């Protein structure tokens, strides 16, 4: 915390969707296009695991099993990150909230600074396609740019288009078995948030089975309207 007060006008966007729906890819594109900050609780948790923090130690086995980390841990991590000065530009939440308790905590947190959610956008996909999408994905170890064995390979093999990096990595939980648990967790605990945000009048839905560019265009239109 550096004492910065987040302006009440900063946009707050939420991307909802099962693992593999493209939340991370799209959040990164929106980040660039609109100057917002992508907040991925998955990334924050992976960083906590890598750093060996107390929260990371508690989260590790849960993440490897494809289950949800406790609301308490995730909300604390998100709250800390939201207090960073860069978040005053506005945020795209990718992978948070994932439960009703988290959604309510987010509403309360935003209310503290007079903010509210501008849009919660559901990326609608077919579950069956998600396993293939996830099994082939990997990222640049340097800049985090996302790639896929079948759908998005670097222009020059083995070299990141974005930063020229040559080290790539795959997530430990991107395997068929864990993906099944992650999809189950999504349907049981996260999908009900679609109704939660519909009732709040903040929900938009996007068909996320098309090309990355088409989905990005649909999202950009929604974000423009929501933040106008
Ligand atoms: P992701 O990178 O969003 O796919 O998240 C990877 C894993 O981190 C998930 O399968 C969960 O175990 C954990 N995780 C990420 N975000 C949350 C959240 N908001 N609530 C609970 N667990 C989470």
- Candidate from 16, 67, 68, 190 with most ligand 1 atoms within 8 A of CB, to mutate: 68
Instruction: Spot the catalytic one: 23, 28, 46, 60.
Output: 23
41-60 residue pLDDT tens: 999 999 999 999 999 999 99
The pair of three-digit structure tokens given for residue 68, joined into one six-digit string: 């949800």
Instruction: Quote the pLDDT of residue 1.
Output: 47
Q: What percent of the chain has pLDDT over 70?
A: 96
Among 28, 60, 81, 137, which one carries the catalytic annotation? 137
How many residues does this entry show for the chain?
A: 228
Q: Residue 90 is encoded by which pair of tokens?
A: 């506005």
What's the pLDDT score for residue 176?
A: 84
CA 103 to chain centre: 14
Per-residue model confidence as pLDDT tens digits over 208-222: 999 999 999 999 999
Q: Which of 89, 100, 171, 205 is catalytic?
A: 171
The pTM of this model reads 0.90
pLDDT-wise least confident of 6-10, 14-18, 86-90, 159-163: 6-10
Summarised one tens digit per residue, pLDDT across range 116-141 is: 999 999 999 998 889 888 989 999 99
Alpha-carbon span 70 to 67, nearest angstrom: 9
Any ligand 1 atom below 6 A from CB of 63? yes
Q: What is the pLDDT of residues 166-210, one digit of tens each?
A: 999 999 899 888 999 999 999 999 999 999 999 999 999 999 999
Q: Is the CB of 69 under 6 A from ligand 1?
A: yes
């Amino acid at each position: 915390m550096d004492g910065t007060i987040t302006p009440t006008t900063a946009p707050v966007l939420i991307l909802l969707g099962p693992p593999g729906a493209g939340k991370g890819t799209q959040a990164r594109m929106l980040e660039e296009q609109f100057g917002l900050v992508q907040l991925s609780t998955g990334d924050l948790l992976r960083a906590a695991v890598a750093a060996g923090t107390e929260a990371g130690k508690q989260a590790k086995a849960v993440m490897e099993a494809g289950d949800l980390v406790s609301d308490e841990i995730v909300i604390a991590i998100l709250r800390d990150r939201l207090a960073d000065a860069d978040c005053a530009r506005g945020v795209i939440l990718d992978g948070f909230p994932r439960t009703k308790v988290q959604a309510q905590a987010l509403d309360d947190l935003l209310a503290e600074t007079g903010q509210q959610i501008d849009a919660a956008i559901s990326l609608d996909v077919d579950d069956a396609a998600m396993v293939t999408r996830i099994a082939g994905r990997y990222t640049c170890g340097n800049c985090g740019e996302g790639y896929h064995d079948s759908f998005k390979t670097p222009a020059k093999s083995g070299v990141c288009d974005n930063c020229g990096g040559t080290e790539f990595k795959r997530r430990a939980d991107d395997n068929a078995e864990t993906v099944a648990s992650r999809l189950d967790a999504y349907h049981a605990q996260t999908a009900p948030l679609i109704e939660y945000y519909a009732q709040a009048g903040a929900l938009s839905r996007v068909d996320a089975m098309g090309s990355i560019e088409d989905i990005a265009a649909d999202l950009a239109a929604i974000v423009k309207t929501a933040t106008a």
